[in-house]
Amino acid sequence: MNKRSLMSLILFFSAVFFTTVPANAVSTIVNKDVNAQVAVEEDDIKSEETDIINKVTFREIFKKSPEAQINSFFKKYNKYSSKNDIEKLKTMYADEYVNNDGFNKETVFKLMATASDAYKEVKYTTDILSIKTDGNYAVVKAHEIATGETAKAIKKLNDTGSIVSDIYYTDYLVKRDNKWQISATDVTYEKVDLKYGEAKKMNVDVTAPDCVPEGSEYEALVKINSPDGVFVVGSIVNEQIVFPQIEEKDVYRSIKNDELARVLSANKNKHNEYATISIAITRAQVEPPSVVLNMTGMAFVMKRINVLSVDNGLITEKEDLNEQAAKKTKKSKK
């Protein structure tokens, strides 16, 4: 399945962290689901000839359950993703496709192409959590992890970056002409890590809400396990998920006791956003009469924050529940 994240690849659709000095610019790529095509494609016939063509008739293939069809094509989707076969992936998306960031099919594939050029040897592991079908429609919930390396090395460190994308999402599929296609994607959780040099051995844990009301304040807390004998600085900004991406700049602060926190204000533009963390690791080199700090590692971490409109009924309901809880607390104190 694959999707968004990284590459969103996935998903799939996201952007990449690439600048001369990747001081921020991380993104994910949109992720999607495989379509359940009932027609067996030529390259697949070659590999599945013995198991399918020689053992069952094509009529039996068409009788496969919707769940079996969807599972089969999720596997095919991963295969095409690993081969960067963009043209075949496009056939797995409906023309009306849109995700919860408002990106349509054209934008998603622009992001996929960017990720394809920026990363190499990307591998996907997808766990399908549930499949629900209703005639020609299906809802698929999945968890996907994608790993890979940047195609280019960063000059300051002379090292390529390692990337890990962790994403939970729901794909909505539609079946037309005996072929499943992804018509929409809703990403509920997403975290992307890009690390260079010494940072590859460092854990970066980010605590931030998965969703917040527009215009509200929320805290992003970062905890790391920095190497011994280093000086670490970092920054935390929130970036709206738009295309082209708008890069937010921030000053780097010293990370003390391996923790860094910042209160952010969610945008009011009806865009989801990322809490983006940039970290630089330096080591001191004594060169009398001075001390020189050499950069030995960099990390960029992006945590998705889905921003909900204040007009959204879910938020109104949450506020009502909070008010009820507050009233109960007051009564218990009397």
Q: Where are the alpha helices (DSSP H) in the chain?
A: 42-48, 58-62, 66-82, 86-90, 105-118, 313-333
pLDDT of residue 285: 79
Burial 213-223 (b: 16+ CB within 10 A, else e): bbeeebebebe
Summarised one tens digit per residue, pLDDT across range 286-307 is 777 777 789 999 999 999 999 9
Summarised one tens digit per residue, pLDDT across range 103-146 is 999 999 988 877 777 888 888 888 999 999 999 999 999 999 98
Question: Whole-angstrom Cα distance, residue 208 to residue 318?
Answer: 18
Check if the beta carbon of residue 46 is closer than 8 Å to that of residue 322: no
71 or 259, greater pLDDT: 259
Q: Which amino acid is at 74?
A: F
- Give the predicted TM-score (pTM) of the model: 0.76
Burial of 130: CB neighbours in 10 Å, binned 0-12, 13-18, 19+: exposed
**Residue 274's closest CA among 120, 159, 165?**
165
Q: Which amino acid is at 128?
A: I
Cis peptide before 289 (omega within 30 of 0): yes
| Residue-wise DSSP of 163-219 | EEEEEEEEEEEEEETTEEEEEEEEEEEEEEEEEEEGGGG--EEEE--SEEETT-EEE
Structure tokens at 266: 């969610």
